[in-house]
Amino acid sequence: MPYDLADRLVIGVASSAVFDLSDSDSVFKREGEEAYRKFQEHNLNNPLPKGIAFPFVKRLLSLNHMRPDPEDPLVEVILLSRNDPDTGLRVMKTIEHYGLGITRAIFMQGRSPYEYIPALNISLFLSGNKSDVDAAIRAGYPAGHVLDSKFDDDEQDHALRIAFDFDGVLASDESESIMQASGLSDFHAHEVANVMNSHGPGPLRDFLIKIAKIQSIEEQFKKQNPDYENRLRVSLVTARNAPSHERALNTLKAWGVMTNDAFFLGGIAKKHVLGVLKPHIFFDDQSAHLEMTSSLVPSVHIPFGITNRDVVAVPKTSKTAKTAKTAKTAKTAKTAKTAKTAKTGKT
């Protein structure tokens, strides 16, 4: 019987998101493909260092302890790599070394694997390769560019904290477009006038919905195991403030989800809050915000919407997820021709 991905949270990760490939990339860029192959073969049994998204992936997979059957996990993480199977073997050995529960992988020699996102029911694709993420977003798929970030992971801390921006990440860029075109006053007026109209979905709406389902399962698990402490905590960290906060909350309710925390900062730098919150991953659509947060927490750029004009796309949503009214979107700006990629390199 086929292994069904339909009722699971499926994450796709490139090795560049989970591991530090700086040495490997340096060899490839400096000496070429043949030297890169020899380097990987020579270091086959030397595990790659942990990368930016490693703490997030490790903790996400740890939630599978709530399912007694290991063949029926809540979370599935699939490796999507630009390596060929031979050069990718070191990555698989590294996964085994760290005890990550990743057993499924796709190797695409020199090609971006993002086209397989819908086939694998992936709700989030993470990569350190910007061009791959941009291409996935243009195609309407949920993807994020993992930025170089500083973060000291406390391995004794078993909690998983996930933080989201709202506009352009969870929701569409409809309101952000008004903000960019007409300013803050018109933005607030628009949100008050549409307070009961749910936002259209952004790239990570379906990911949030599936995370919320796991939180519900965790609540049931806690009822059966009173000493258990909930691990999963979700926070909204947005530049919105009153009166535009209410429409955001109404939208989350319409989607059947609610976050544990909400920070309506109204222009206060997000890094101040995130430095205290210490999420294991933070998603935002604006590079300016992430330039500040990446010095404190693992930060992921979602290159979607009006603030990323060269990448704009409409996210594709699952058939089963509840949908809100989809806002009319601006015509997609002409995109630059994608640069030809090398056979290997960042994956």
Q: What whole-number distance in Å separates Cα of residue 161 and Cα of residue 231?
A: 8
Classify 150 as helix, strand or coil: coil
Task: Return d(Cα 180, Cα 335) in angstroms, integer.
Answer: 20
Catalytic member of 132, 165, 167, 284: 165
Residue 5, exposed/middle/buried by CB under 10 A (0-12, 13-18, 19+)? middle
Tell how strand 9-13 and strand 122-127 pair up: parallel
* Amino acid type, 31: E
Q: Does 165 participate in catalysis according to the annotation?
A: yes
Q: At 41, is the secondary structure helix, strand, or coil?
A: helix
Q: Answer yes or no: are the C-beta atoms of 162 and 211 closer than 8 Å.
A: yes
Half-sphere exposure of 318 (CA within 13 A, CB side): 26
How far apart are the C-alpha atoms of 149 and 129, rounded to whole Å?
Answer: 15
User: How far apart, in whole angstroms, are the C-alpha atoms of residue 93 and residue 189?
Assistant: 55
Q: Are 83 and 347 in contact (CB under 8 A)?
A: yes
Angle of helix 184-193 versus helix 174-182 axis, rounded to 10: 140
- Rounded-to-integer distance, Cα 168 and Cα 190, Å: 17
Q: Show the DSSP H helices in the chain as ranges.
A: 15-18, 22-31, 33-42, 54-62, 89-98, 130-138, 174-182, 184-193, 205-224, 245-254, 270-277, 287-293
- State how far the alpha carbon of 274 is from the alpha carbons of 246, 248, 262, 326, in Å: 22, 20, 12, 30
Catalytic positions, please?
165
